[in-house]
Amino acid sequence: MPLIGDTAPSFEAVTTQGPIRFPEDYAGKWVILFSHPADFTPVCTTEFMTFASMADEFAALNTELIGLSVDSLYAHIAWLRKIQEIEWNGKKNIEVKFPLIEDIRMEVANKFGMIQPGQSNTQAVRAVFVIDPLAKIRTILYYPLSTGRNFDEIKRIILALQKADSDQVATPADWRPGDDVIVPTAGSCGTAKERMESTSDDQYCLDWFMCFRREKK
């Protein structure tokens, strides 16, 4: 199983949107690669309806979605067509336009550690891999078969990672866009002393190791 900071395994796959090659087809993009246990199951259906309804929000963040399960391409197509007929939680007429990988031989799932025998030998767990434009794995989430994912949190992770990369900062617990961010910890006694003694409209410290930058609302 690849770890955070590793280069994501490359693969070629047949999908509901045609063949794809990863990472070549996604150069310069953030990618959310996620697996689900099976087509025509209720939890997975709610997840796909939610992801599809948020596709434009992710696209605005330069982020592409790729789904995967070990079902066949024809099962995928039939299920995605059925999803368009279902109304749930205010969502209806949902068309899934992002690719859903056919992985009957579990080749991609095994590369990413999505098959976990403690849960199932024949179904992928609910894995989420957030992969950056350099094809580096930046976040890994695993949910059990019984628990649907929190999609607001998945989007928040993308926002936080992009903020960290662009501004060279860290984000505190429960951070949301517009909240104050954490600046790198002081690397010397002199810097720590200077931070504690200085005042700024843009920056404040709770202690020498814990300094924040105010964000413009």
Token reading at 156: 């928040």
Catalytic (active site) residue 44: yes
Residue stretches of the chain with pLDDT short of 70: 117, 119-122, 186-187, 192, 199, 217
For residue 89, the model assigns a pLDDT of: 96
Checking DSSP bridges between strand 203-207 and strand 137-143, what pairing results, if any?
unpaired
For residue 120, the model assigns a pLDDT of: 65
Q: Which position among 44, 189, 205, 211 bears the catalytic label?
A: 44
For residue 217, the model assigns a pLDDT of: 63
For residue 3, the model assigns a pLDDT of: 97
Residue-range domains of the chain with CATH: 11-149 (3.40.30.10), 168-217 (3.30.1020.10)
For residue 13, the model assigns a pLDDT of: 98
126 known ligand binder:
yes
pTM equals 0.92
For residue 193, the model assigns a pLDDT of: 75
For residue 188, the model assigns a pLDDT of: 74
Separation between Cα atoms, residue 98 and residue 101, nearest integer Å: 10
